[in-house]
């Protein structure tokens, strides 16, 4: 027995029509549910709000359907086959839900596939049809013979069924091999991508990662990529990843955007082992109905964020200088978040459900990201392991052998137990403090272990992301801003900075400084002409009313990092960035 989902697309209305056929519904009243959140994206999304209609029929007659929770439905008792017909509104251009228009579409299983309670372990069959001139890309097993086209697909159970997203439309496609396994890149919405270059570079990333882990958890892999305006995002899946990027990232016109895309692809591909293989026990049995708090996201997302760029360097796609610049920017991002004094890594992970995906204008003052600080904690952990003749590389491979290949979920907090034989009690206590306490990481010391010196300077301007040495500004407002119709609008006010001390807040529109008109293009140069410590007069708008205040500009904080190879550190840095020590420490 299997469950059959027939999908038809109504692209102009942005609707996905689903007919779910149940051969043996629960005779006492079958319950159906839609997940409230999407695996890999830890916030409640209430996906059921996108279902716009639902009806059921049995034996040619309509069957009553009762919605008894916001995302649960109960059919009236019946015997024999039943068909549930429902429509999903698909107009969210993201990697998490569903999008459809006359130029193509995408959907993630949890946003579309109703769960049939107590029948989750049955085989699930998908039959999908759409415009004749569109292609379809998915890693789900095909039943029909024709690849890249509409037809039938199957998955052994509901969890797997939801772990193979679909991309469709007039697709660009790149086929390549990595580690002798077939890989595919499907692109939707890209004007003129450099397909040959993309295939070659992705092949290098994938081949290196397979070598890093010592094997592959899949027999083939799909990158499913959409483009948009100011778009960015990714989500890992069983044998594929869903990616979202800017249109200019892949056509050769934006080198920085292209590097960012490679980093995104590297990140999601790494998750094939760390998340899809070495999976967190907290969610291993979940059907994504309600929040399930974990304090280990720094492991799964932080360690992955550490390696996504490092492995690009090791694969030869980034130079060591480019990687160190990126790492300096990562350190700068953390240094500019006063929230490190309020929120620990463990708390950041646990708070993902309510904070990370729902930031307020002053979030950086009170919160950190388990991606950002987690990546830097992973760097420090790698350094500590290398001090003892080991490495994080070798530790992860052991995790893969003991948990990923054996399909054992990793228990919450187990990483500390596994590190103890290598680091000892004192070393593990130090790592635990990095995670559970609100304290700075020992970045200076750990980078020196890797042969790198960490330097600090003030920022040049609000666009200065760090990573390189340069001249700095003289005075600091302690705020970020954006251009407004008149003047500039404050977007962030740093705790303890000049703007906060003057009583300014996010949303205020600055109009004049010491009687001189403020323009977004010249505000930083206006500030640079002034001496810190002297009161300056500001005129600003708040909630449509004019206000004024005195503001004492401060000396800029040293919150901008850049890295240089230290004296005598060439070999240690080279071994780390090339991965040369991996084989020596694999044991």
What is the distance between the alpha carbons of residues 467 and 489, in angstroms, rounded to a whole number?
27
Length of the chain: 587
Average pLDDT over residues 474-502: 95
Rounded to the nearest 5 degrees, what angle is found at the Cα of 56, between the Cα atoms of 50 and 60?
A: 150
What is the distance between the alpha carbons of residues 177 and 220, in angstroms, rounded to a whole number?
9
Res. 180: pLDDT tops 80 = yes
Please tell me what DSSP assigns to residue 476.
Answer: B
Using CA atoms of 354, 355, 356, 360 in order, give the dihedral in degrees to the nearest 10. Answer: 130
Buried b (16+ CB within 10 A) or exposed e, 234-253: bbbbbbbbbbbbbbebbbee
Res. 582: pLDDT tops 60 = no
Task: Give counts: helices (H), strands (E), the chain.
Answer: 16, 29
Q: Which of 48-52, 182-186, 217-221, 251-255 has the lowest mean pLDDT?
A: 251-255
Q: Which of 54-58, 137-141, 254-258, 460-464 has the lowest mean pLDDT?
A: 460-464
Average pLDDT over residues 272-287: 93
% of the chain exceeding 70 in pLDDT: 99
Tokens of 405: 């290949």
Contact status, residue 185 vs residue 203, Cβ threshold 8 Å: no
Q: Note the pTM of the prediction, 2 decimals.
A: 0.95
Give the pLDDT score at 472. Answer: 80
Please report which residue ranges of 489-538 form alpha helices under DSSP H: 498-501, 523-528
Contact status, residue 451 vs residue 545, Cβ threshold 8 Å: no
Give the pLDDT score at 284. Answer: 85
Please tell me what DSSP assigns to residue 124.
Answer: E
pLDDT tens per residue, range 85-108: 999 999 999 999 999 999 999 999
Give the pLDDT score at 585. Answer: 35
Average pLDDT over residues 383-409: 96
Res. 28: pLDDT tops 50 = yes
Give the pLDDT score at 480. Answer: 94
What is the distance between the alpha carbons of residues 244 and 528, in angstroms, rounded to a whole number?
38
Res. 145: pLDDT tops 80 = no
Specify which residues 240 forms β-bridges with: 222
Specify which residues 458 forms β-bridges with: none
pLDDT tens per residue, range 451-467: 999 999 999 888 899 99
Beta strand 221-228 pairing with 181-188? parallel
DSSP 3-state assignment of 331? helix
Average pLDDT over residues 124-142: 96
Specify which residues 70 forms β-bridges with: none
Q: Is 363 exposed, middle or buried (0-12, 13-18, 19+ CB in 10 A)?
A: middle
Domains and CATH numbers, the chain: 2-155 (2.60.40.3650), 172-270 (1.10.390.10), 281-449 (1.10.390.10), 479-552 (2.30.42.10)
Q: Is 112 exposed, middle or buried (0-12, 13-18, 19+ CB in 10 A)?
A: buried
Contact status, residue 148 vs residue 173, Cβ threshold 8 Å: yes
Res. 586: pLDDT tops 60 = no
Res. 190: pLDDT tops 90 = no
What is the distance between the alpha carbons of residues 225 and 187, in angstroms, rounded to a whole number?
5
Residue 142: count of CB within 10 angstroms of its CB: 17
Give the pLDDT score at 344. Answer: 97
Q: Which of 456, 306, 294 is nearest to 377 (CA)?
A: 306
Give the pLDDT score at 185. Answer: 97
Residue 459: count of CB within 10 angstroms of its CB: 21
What is the distance between the alpha carbons of residues 268 and 234, in angstroms, rounded to a whole number?
7
Give the pLDDT score at 463. Answer: 86
DSSP for 25-73 reads --TTT-EEE--SSBTTB-S---GGGGEEEEEEEETTEEE-EEEEETTEE
Res. 252: pLDDT tops 90 = no
Give the pLDDT score at 503. Answer: 97
Band (pLDDT 50/70/90 cuts) for residue 193 is: confident
Q: Which of 355, 411, 418 is nearest to 392 (CA)?
A: 418
What is the distance between the alpha carbons of residues 90 and 71, in angstroms, rounded to a whole number?
17
Band (pLDDT 50/70/90 cuts) for residue 340 is: very high
Q: Which of 336, 346, 337 is nearest to 367 (CA)?
A: 337
Say which residues have a Cβ less than 8 Å from residue 42's Cβ, sequence separation at least 6: 291, 297, 352, 353, 356, 357
Average pLDDT over residues 294-303: 97
Band (pLDDT 50/70/90 cuts) for residue 581 is: low
- In 458-533, beta strands by DSSP E: 479-483, 488-493, 509-513, 516-517
Q: Which of 37, 10, 9, 32 is nearest to 21 (CA)?
A: 32
- Average pLDDT taken over every residue of the chain: 94
Res. 347: pLDDT tops 50 = yes
Give the pLDDT score at 73. Answer: 98
Give the pLDDT score at 587. Answer: 30
% of the chain exceeding 90 in pLDDT: 89
What is the distance between the alpha carbons of residues 446 and 354, in angstroms, rounded to a whole number?
32
Q: How far is CA 279 from CA 70, 243, 253, 430, 530, in A?
A: 29, 21, 38, 25, 54
Tokens of 329: 């920017």
């Amino acid at each position: 027995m299997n469950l059959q989902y027939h999908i038809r697309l109504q692209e102009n209305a942005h609707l996905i029509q689903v007919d779910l056929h149940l051969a043996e519904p629960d005779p006492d009243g079958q319950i159906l549910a839609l997940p409230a959140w999407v695996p890999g994206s830890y916030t409640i999304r209430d996906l059921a709000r996108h279902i716009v209609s639902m009806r059921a029929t049995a034996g040619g007659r309509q069957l009553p359907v009762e919605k008894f929770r916001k995302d649960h439905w109960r059919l009236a008792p019946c015997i024999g086959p039943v068909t549930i017909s429902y429509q999903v509104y698909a107009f969210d251009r993201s990697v998490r839900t569903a999008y459809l228009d006359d130029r193509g579409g995408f959907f993630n299983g949890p946003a579309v596939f109703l769960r049939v309670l107590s029948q989750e372990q049955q085989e699930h069959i998908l039959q999908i049809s759409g415009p004749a001139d569109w292609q379809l890309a998915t890693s789900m097993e095909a039943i029909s013979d024709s690849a890249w086209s509409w037809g039938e697909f199957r998955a052994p159970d509901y969890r797997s069924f939801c772990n193979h997203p679909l991309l469709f439309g007039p697709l660009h496609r790149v086929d390549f091999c990595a580690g002798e396994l077939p890989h595919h890149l499907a692109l939707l919405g890209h004007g003129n991508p450099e397909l040959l270059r993309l295939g070659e570079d992705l092949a290098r990333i994938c081949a290196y990662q397979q070598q890093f882990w010592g094997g592959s958890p899949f027999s083939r892999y799909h990158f499913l990529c959409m483009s948009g305006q100011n778009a960015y995002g990714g989500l890992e899946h069983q044998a594929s990843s869903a990616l979202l990027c800017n249109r200019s990232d892949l056509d050769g016109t934006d080198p920085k955007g292209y590097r960012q895309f490679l980093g995104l692809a590297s990140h999601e591909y790494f998750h094939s082992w760390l998340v899809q293989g070495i999976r967190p026990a907290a969610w291993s049995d979940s059907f994504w109905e309600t929040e399930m708090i974990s304090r280990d996201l720094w492991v799964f997302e932080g360690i992955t964020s550490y390696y996504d760029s490092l492995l690009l360097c090791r694969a030869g796609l980034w130079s060591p200088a480019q990687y160190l610049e990126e790492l300096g920017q990562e350190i700068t991002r953390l240094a500019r978040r006063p929230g490190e004094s309020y929120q620990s890594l463990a708390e950041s992970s646990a708070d993902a459900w309510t904070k990370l995906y729902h930031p307020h204008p002053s979030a950086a003052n009170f919160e950190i990201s388990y991606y950002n600080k987690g990546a830097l904690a992973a760097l420090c952990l790698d350094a500590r392991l290398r001090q003892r003749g080991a490495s994080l590389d070798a530790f992860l491979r052991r995790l893969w052998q003991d948990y990923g290949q054996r399909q054992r979920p990793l228990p919450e907090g187990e990483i500390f137990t596994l590190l103890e034989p290598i680091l000892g009690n004192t070393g593990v206590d130090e790592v635990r403090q990095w995670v559970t306490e609100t304290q700075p990481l020992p970045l200076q010391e750990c980078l020196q272990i890797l042969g790198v010196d960490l330097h600090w300077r003030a920022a040049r301007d609000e666009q200065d992301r760090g990573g390189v040495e340069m001249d700095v500004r003289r005075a600091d407002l302690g705020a970020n801003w954006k251009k407004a119709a008149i003047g500039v609008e404050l977007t962030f006010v740093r705790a303890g900075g000049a703007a906060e001390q003057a009583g300014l807040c996010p949303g205020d529109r600055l109009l004049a400084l010491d009687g001189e008109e403020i323009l977004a293009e010249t505000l930083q140069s206006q500030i640079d002409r002034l001496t810190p410590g002297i009161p300056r007069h500001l005129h600003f708008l708040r909630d449509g009313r004019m206000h004024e205040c005195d503001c004492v500009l401060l000396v800029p904080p040293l919150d901008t990092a850049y890295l240089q190879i230290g004296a005598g550190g060439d070999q240690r840095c080279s071994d780390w960035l090339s991965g040369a020590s991996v084989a020596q420490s694999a044991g």
